[in-house]
Amino acid sequence: MTTLLIIAAKEIREAFRNRWVVATTLLMAALALTLSFLGAAPTGTVGVGRIEVTIVSLSSLTIFLLPLIALLLSFDAVVGEIDRGTMTLLLSYPVARWQVLLGKFLGHAAIIAFATVLGYGSAGAALAWSGAAVGPESWQAYGAMIGSSVLLGAAFTALGYLASTLVRDRGTAAGIAVALWLGFVLLYDMGLLGLLVADGGKTVNAELLNALLLANPADAYRLFNLTGFKNVSLLAGTAGLASQVQVSGGVLLGVLAAWVAAPLGLAVLLFSRKQI
């Protein structure tokens, strides 16, 4: 346990030192503040919008941004250390390979969590301070969005670790990371939409569609945030969808957690067999 923490602490220290954490936190805070205070501009007013609007726009943006940050942070984690020669050295110490991988992952996940909670949390605090009327249920939805965002970031960090363990070359790992991002965040939904239109509802029923949506962590996150809370789904235009989706919030969070555990478990397995 202490070995894990020692390795995680080093990862966190390095990220703080090279301004990764500061830059990410500032970016997330800037986006969250912009969306909460200027989000209503398209409707002709500048001022604090309803927090539900913020949740809808912020979670839509998170789907694009956070996986990218997570993959950028993680694709180099294993292959980069092997490249620099520090991995050989690290493994000559009294540490197990799974401890190295898990320790580093804990560090990176903590960085994502720190940046997300602080960045989005500051926007929430600013909303509260500006005196906007926000009900307890809305706060709950906002908190759930922050929590699920951390989980989404962790899932893509785990995917980045898998890419980093899979290959011997940093460039290839970076390529896989970009492909993962494009695939899960952009192409998957387009493909799904195309499939639905082409199929015309003949073979793809609601159950299969649900399964297909759960097969993508970004979609699981979207479903969780846009259909999980009634007052949010009304604004997101997904109220109709919400009544169709038979997957509860707990299951969606479970799916996201599985998207953290499965790639990470596979990465640990591959790493323990890798020839360094």
Partner 1 sequence: MSKEPTIRVEGVSKRYGEQYAVRGVDLALMPGECVAMVGHNGAGKSSLIKLMLGLTTPTEGRLTVLGGDPASAAASAIRRQVGFLPENVAFHPSITGRETLDFYARLKGVATAGNPALFERVGLEPAAVARRVGTYSKGMRQRLALAQALLGGPRVLFLDEPTTGLDPALRQSFYEIVADLRDAGTTVLLCSHALTELEGQADRVVVMSRGRKVADGSLATLRGLARLPVRIRLTLADGDVDGLARRIGEGAALTRLAGGVVELACANDDKVGLVRRIACDGPAVRDIEIVQPSLDEMYAHFLRRPDALGPDSLAEAAE
Task: Report if residue 14 touches partner 1, rule: CB under 8 A.
Answer: yes
State yes or no: residue 170 binds partner 1 (CB under 8 A). Answer: no
Site residue total, partner 1 (CB under 8 A)? 22
Q: Does 273 bind partner 1 (CB under 8 A)?
A: no
Region binding partner 1 by CB under 8 A among candidate stretches 9-17, 116-124, 159-167, 259-267: 9-17
- In the complex, least distance from residue 234 CB atom to partner 1, rounded to whole angstroms: 47
- Fill in the per-residue mask, 67 to 106: x = in contact with partner 1 (CB under 8 A), - = not in contact: -----------------xxx-xxxxxxxxx----------
The residue range among 7-15, 56-64, 159-167, 245-253 that interacts with partner 1, by the rule CB under 8 A, is: 7-15
Secondary structure in 3-state letters for the chain: CHHHHHHHHHHHHHHHHCCHHHHHHHHHHHHHHHHHHHCCHHHCCCCCCCHHHHHHHHHHHHHHHHHHHHHHHHCCCCHHHHHHCHHHHHHCCCCCHHHHHHHHHHHHHHHHHHHHHHHHHHHHHHHHHCCCCCCHHHHHHHHHHHHHHHHHHHHHHHHHHHHHHHCCCHHHHHHHHHHHHHHHHHHHHHHHHHHHHHHCCCCCCHHHHHHHHHCCHHHHHHHHHHHCCHHHHHHHCCHHHHHHCCCCHHHHHHHHHHHHHHHHHHHHHHHHHCCC
Question: 59 vs 74, which CB is nearer to partner 1?
Answer: 74
Confirm or reject binding of residue 275 to partner 1 (CB under 8 A).
yes
Q: Does 276 sit near partner 1 (CB under 8 A)?
A: yes
Q: How far is the CB of 116 from partner 1 (least distance, A)?
A: 23
What b/e string do you get for 29-41 counting C-beta neighbours within 10 Å, with b at 16 or more? bebbbebbbebbe
| 270 lies in the binding site for partner 1 (CB under 8 A) | no
Q: Does 269 sit near partner 1 (CB under 8 A)?
A: no
**Binding to partner 1, residues 16-35 (CB under 8 A):** 17-18
Q: How far is the CB of 218 from partner 1 (least distance, A)?
A: 31
Q: Closest CB to partner 1 among 86 and 244?
A: 86
Contacts with partner 1 by CB under 8 A lie at 3, 6-7, 10, 13-14, 17-18, 84-86, 88-96, 275-276
